[in-house]
Every structure is written in C-alpha cells, then in structure tokens.
Amino acid sequence: MKIRQDAWSHEDDVLLAETVLNHIKEGSTQLKAFDEVGDALNRTSAACGFRWNAVVRQKHLSNIDQAKRERKERKRELSPSYFQPKTIERAHIIEPSFYRTQSNVSSSTTIDSIITQLRQLGLQTEQSNSLKSENDRLRTELKKTASKLHDLETMLARNKQEHSMIEEDYQSLISIMNRARRMAILEDTIEDQTAFRMEANGNLEKLEK
C-alpha cells in the first residue's frame, strides 16, 4: 500500500498538472492521470485526486479549457467525415451522416465528462468517509483520555487527603512525645530536690530519701 505523509512540493504540483492536462488532451480520464502521478510520487490515487480538485485545478482553468479544445479538435480530425471532400457548397448541412458524427462526438464528450465528474464525486465521497472515520476514532480516544485523566485527578485528591491525615497524626504524635519528655524531666527534677523538716527548736532537719 502506498502511504505518504509529506507535504506536496511545487514540483509535485507541476507534475500533477502536466499529467492531468495531457490525459485530457488525449481523451483519457483524470483517474488514469491520478494513477500515473500516484505511481510516480508514491502516493495514492485518491490523494492525487484530492490535491487536484482542492488546490491545483483552480490554478489551471484556462489550461484545462485549452486542453479540452485540443481534444475536441483531435476527435474531429480522426472523424471519417473530416476527410470527406466538400465539393458541394454547404454539403455538410444536408449530409445526415455529418450530423450523426457531430452528435456522437458531442454525446461522447458529454458522457466522458459525466463519468469523470461521477468518479471525482466518488473520490470525494471516499475521502469524506475516511475523514469521518478518522474523526470518530480521535473522538473515541479523546473520551478515553478524558476518563483516565478524571481517574488520576480523583486518585490525586484521595492521596492528598490521606497525606493530610498522616501529617496531622504525625504532628499529634510529636506533641504527645514532647509533653511526655517535659513530664519526665519535671519528675526527675522533683526527685532530685532535697526534703527538710523543721525541728521544735526551729532548726531544719534534712530528711532521708
């Protein structure tokens, strides 16, 4: 499968325009031109058709008209009635076969034009369906990503709450340990103090622990 993602260069557009115009002059179809350019540039025929209709075609409208005129002129030259001698004045007016030839050429040109337009419409429809499928796929991935993001945000909020509770417990534990340390120091201080008793004569007597 030919898959190519790089942008179109000026040389690519020139090759596309020249190839399509040559096919028009030769009475061929634009689809064959798209196939030929796709093989040369390693691109799909649909990509070449989309590039022609979206960008390149508008730049070569006058060239397209000229190519169509040359195609009509070539068909006239190849028509048998073109080579019939015109010895009788206005013979082409009373010759039924000439009308039939002109009618066939006109009908053939109209049919080719209709077929070309229908094929181009088919290409555009195919490209539109492809873009719609890609858009649906991206929407689905976006929904999945949004769901994952919501789950992560919920988990983060829960972790923050748990961290806050742990921090509060830690601070409470530190406070309890500091209070216990102060009480232990106070008890040691009280035990180290010497006790005295006053005798009847007013003297202080040291008490044994």
Instruction: Quickly count: other Cβ atoms within 10 Å of residue 38's Cβ.
Output: 19
pTM of the prediction?
Answer: 0.38
Domain ranges of the chain: 10-140
Reading the block at residue 76, the tokens are: 């006239």
> Is the Cβ–Cβ distance between 37 and 15 less than 8 Å?
yes
Reading the block at residue 188, the tokens are: 């040691």
| 64, 68, 70, 72: CA torsion to nearest 10 | 180
Separation CA 200–CA 60 (nearest Å): 133
Q: pLDDT of the chain along its 209 residues, tens only?
A: 555 668 999 999 999 999 999 999 999 999 999 999 999 999 999 999 999 999 999 999 999 999 999 999 988 887 765 555 544 344 444 444 544 455 455 556 788 888 888 888 888 888 888 888 888 999 988 889 888 888 999 889 888 888 888 888 889 889 898 888 888 887 766 666 656 676 777 676 766 65
| 146, 148, 149, 152: CA torsion to nearest 10 | 160
